[in-house]
A and B are shown apart, each in its own frame.
Chain A
Amino acid sequence: MDLEKFKVHGEPLIYGAMISIALATIGILVGLTYFKKWGYLWREWLTTVDHKRIGVMYIIAALLMLFRGGVDAMMMRLQTAAPEMKFLDAQHYNEVFTTHGLIMILFMAMPFIIGLMNVIIPLQIGARDVAFPRLNAISFWLFFMGAMLLNISFVIGGSPDAGWSAYFPLASLEFSPTVGNNYYSLALQISGIGTLMTGVNFIVTILKMRAPGMTLMKMPMFTWSVLITNIIIVFAFPVLTVALALMMFDRLFGSQFFTMANGGMDMLWANLFWVWGHPEVYIVILPAFGIYSEIIATFSKKNLYGYTSMVFSMVIISLLSFVVWAHHFYTMGQGVMVNSFFSITTMAIAVPTGVKIFNWLFTLRKGRITFTTPMLYTLAFIPIFTIGGVTGVMLAMASADYQYHNTMFLVAHFHYVLIPGAVFAVIAGFHYWFPKVFGFRLNDRIGKHAFWWIAISFNVTFFPMFFLGLMGMTRRTYTYSEESGFGPLNMLSFVGAVGLAIGFVILVYNIYWSTRYAPRDTTGDPWDGRTLEWATHSPIPAYNFAVIPKVESRDPFWESKRKNIPLYEDKITKIHLPNNTGKPFILGVIFFFLGFFLVFSMWIPAIVAGVGIIIMLAVMSFERDHGFYISAEEVAATEKKLRGETV
């Protein structure tokens, strides 16, 4: 065994990261042992199949990744804050921008959204769980292990360094000889399989398990957005699966897919990557649109304007998302006809998106608006996202794109789309649904402080990049000369990044503060909500609804409060729930080791791990676990207790 390839050499920063990872690990292990929480962790979290707990784990993982990706961002901004900075070297800078992109998109935005989906969707459709609770746990553990695999690359063997899009031939063994891009192909593959399973699970859940009376066109807008998103997942992720597998074959087994000789074709990778990559953008943005629709309707005290057109515009966006991928590489020589086609389809996306923006504005019109923290994020989203959209149309023009391509203008554009479009949305959703899960609201005053820091600093960070791009600064350059004149705007951008960091620290402080001091909410409906998730208690009992609600309108809970229509008509009967199981977690761990061994081409251990996976699948196939029942009396007692009555 050659231990040399595990080591990462060079920088004090990396040694610092190693020490901090080691200390954090030791801290967690000692803490768990000291507070005797191992059993609790295993019984209540690692083995859970409850959609709410899985959702919470997704969100915790996403928040951790947000900070990991955020530290990457801070390092990049610091390195480019002034000309000729020596904070990071070129190689380290490459690794940092690559992992920043990968982590923020795949291990922060997606799991945050999937976490919110997990918590909210079964509640919004009046179901007791997702269709396949155990598969849901497998999805989570595959995602989590994929994320961990990518994160250890930083200290064991070296991170991927060819950009988050990993274009060939740069990402090939010839030009990226470290194991970094092996980590890329395997970590993404493992978490991608988990995401695909989530897609299948939620399509079945939404199509098959809605409460009686909830027709498709009576579904809440967030549920609609999630349904469409999952359909995109099911059609787009297999393309990524194939692309990553081919990459793995090229790098580990010497095949000739993306090579420069022997008939390989490097542009094939760019096409496959973006056939998945562009729909991926909509996978993170459409649920965000759903979250905003819920928040705007709730805090304007009006039903959503243009419900039908909202649904149709999302469907159209999802279709168009599959026919725009080549706009990511107009300059790579596919000719006028192809560029014209993709130019037109790309600009066409602005139309349904515009429809949605106007629908939100009309929902706000004459509404009784309350300016809560989630509403502030929503209101900030509209103008900021519009700037992102308009610059997107600028980039969509193929001939003009030759000027902007791969400049900081592009970087500014997609941050203007993704930060309000995804990050603001998940933060808004986090504040909005937090009381449902934990039974108390996050403090509004601290929340608004964090909001203003984040919203203002965001613009200070990214608006200068539009000008830097137009001045000719290319993306992914680790430094520049003083004569270029890029210095002052980059310094401004760095100042903004510090402000963003402060904003996020305040956001986390708010969680701490509110956990300790915020008044508990006993109503289950702190915002005067409209949809079914507010019709049950908070925190939510394991069975979600004691009685499955009957739905007659698009805002069933709102209507039932205003017009005194009873939601629950049936009597309480015994409720069936699935048992907890540790097998999804174990399966995830084996996948982690399979990935790790393949990264380092350790064939025998990899084969052992592969056989282990097959054995686990067989064990799960042979198991007969029929779950358990909660008796009607026990449900009635729990309900009384949650209502605050004495049993």
Chain B
Amino acid sequence: MKIDASKPLEYSTEENSNKIFGFWVFLGAEIPLFATLFTVYFVMVNRFADGPSGPELFEIGPVLAETFLLLTSSFTIGLAVHAMRLGYKKATLVFMGITLLMGLAFIGIEIDEFFTYVHEGATLQTSGFLSSLFVLLGTHGAHVSFGFLWGVAIMIQLWREGISPATANKTFIFSLFWHFLDVVWIFIFSFVYLKGLM
């Protein structure tokens, strides 16, 4: 494998650089995926039938906590990639660990929120509005959960092998994924919750 020392470690082989580009293309496919889910939500937002509407359901507290956690975790994964580029294995692992813990806390709050909704009689089966809400939030939450498992796998590899072209590449691609989830959340926060609370 040819290693090009003039590039950052995660880009240093042709295969690695292709993987990063390929992941950008994949994120390009994630955009229409979430765009479709948002469209479905906007179509359904006023079709709450006999169930509760958005303003009756949403509470700002947990949502702010989720937002705070996810936005901060986007910052810490940035720090992890920065530490990785400087070659600090331990710092990389610590920042990644913090990122994943915040992701886990986010998932926890979201699950709790789902339980609260269901407890209030707002289920997937209640109305078109709630179906679309649960599936939109659930798809994002499933991405975060998958990201958590993926991140743990990468941390184990980093811990075992140190920072190599392969692990650096994986860490960097993971950071792209994590940032993307953050961007999606900003849309959910603005157009689902804030708009729904108004």
> Could you list which residues of chain A lie within 8 angstroms of chain B, going by C-beta atoms?
131-132, 196, 199-201, 203-204, 207-209, 234-239, 241-243, 245-246, 249, 253-257, 259, 261-265, 268, 272, 275, 576, 614, 618, 621-622, 624, 626
Contact = CB atoms under 8 A, between A and B. Distances in A.
A208 B29 contact: no
A204 B49 contact: no
A272 B21 contact: no
Given A263-B129, A626-B1, A249 B28 contact: no
A265 B44 contact: yes
Interface stretch (B89-97, B106-114, B120-128, B189-197): B120-128
A200 B126 contact: no
A640 B166 CA distance: 37
B153 A239 contact: no
A263 B48 contact: yes
Interface string B1-35: 10000000000000001110110011011111100
30 contacts: A131-B18, A131-B22, A200-B29, A201-B22, A204-B18, A204-B25, A235-B32, A236-B32, A239-B32, A242-B33, A242-B40, A245-B135, A246-B40, A246-B131, A249-B131, A255-B131, A256-B125, A256-B126, A256-B128, A257-B40, A257-B128, A261-B49, A263-B44, A268-B43, A272-B40, A576-B1, A618-B149, A621-B154, A622-B156, A622-B157
A131 to B, nearest CB: 5
A272 B25 contact: no
A420 to B, nearest CB: 30
Chain A binding surface, main DSSP class:
helix
Contact of A262 (B33, B127, B156): B127
Given A209-B18, A263-B48, 5 more contacts: A203-B25, A208-B18, A235-B32, A246-B40, A621-B157
Given A234-B29, A235-B32, A255-B125, A200 B47 contact: no
Contacts of A236: 32
| 5 nearest A-B residue pairs (beta carbon) | A263-B47, A263-B128, A238-B33, A255-B131, A263-B49
A504 to B, nearest CB: 35
Given A131-B22, A200-B22, A200-B25, A249 B128 contact: no
B36 interface: yes
B47 A242 contact: no
Contact of A254 (B28, B31, B124): B124
A201 B134 CA distance: 32
A200 B30 CA distance: 12
B153 A622 contact: yes
A239 B36 CA distance: 6
Contacts of B18: 131-132, 204, 208-209
A234 B28 contact: yes
Contact of A234 (B25, B50, B127, B154): B25
B105 interface: no
B37 interface: yes
Contacts of B29: 196, 199-200, 234-235, 237-238
Nearest to A627: B1
Contacts of B43: 265, 268
A614 B149 contact: yes
B132 interface: yes
Given A234-B29, A238-B30, A262 B149 contact: no
Interface in B115-166: 124-132, 134-135, 149-150, 153-154, 156-157, 166
Given A249-B124, A256-B125, A242 B25 contact: no
B153 A200 contact: no
A275 B157 CA distance: 41
B124 to A, nearest CB: 5
A256 B122 CA distance: 12
A488 B122 CA distance: 58
Nearest to B127: A263
Interface residues of B, number: 43
A576 B2 CA distance: 11
Nearest to A201: B22
A257 to B, nearest CB: 5
Nearest to A239: B36
B131 A200 contact: no
Nearest to B48: A263
B2 to A, nearest CB: 10
Contacts of A576: 1
A129 to B, nearest CB: 11
Contacts of A257: 40, 44, 128, 131-132
Contacts of A254: 124-125
Interface in B47-62: 47-51
Contacts of A132: 18-19, 22
A255 B51 CA distance: 13
A253 B29 CA distance: 26
Contacts of A261: 49
B51 to A, nearest CB: 8
A317 B36 CA distance: 22
A150 B17 CA distance: 37
A589 B154 CA distance: 26
A256 B21 contact: no
A256 B133 CA distance: 11
Contacts of B48: 263
A261 B1 CA distance: 60
Contacts of B28: 234-235
Contacts of A200: 22, 25-26, 29
A265 B47 contact: yes
A272 B36 contact: yes
A145 B44 CA distance: 34
Contacts of A203: 22, 25
Contacts of B26: 200
B159 to A, nearest CB: 12
A268 B47 CA distance: 13
Contacts of B130: 256
A246 B25 contact: no
B53 to A, nearest CB: 10
A362 B156 CA distance: 61
Given A245-B135, A262-B49, A621-B157, A238 B32 contact: yes
A500 B22 CA distance: 42
B37 to A, nearest CB: 6
A255 B124 contact: yes
A204 B135 CA distance: 31
Contacts of B125: 253-256, 262
**Chain A CB within 10 Å, residue with most, of B25, B30, B149:** B25
A571 B63 CA distance: 62
B154 to A, nearest CB: 8
A242 B22 contact: no
A204 B157 contact: no
A262 B149 CA distance: 36
A576 B131 CA distance: 50
Contacts of B150: 621
B17 to A, nearest CB: 8
A188 to B, nearest CB: 15
A265 B28 CA distance: 28
Nearest to A576: B1
Nearest to A204: B22
Given A207-B21, A208-B18, A242-B40, A618 B153 contact: yes
A105 to B, nearest CB: 20
A261 B40 CA distance: 17
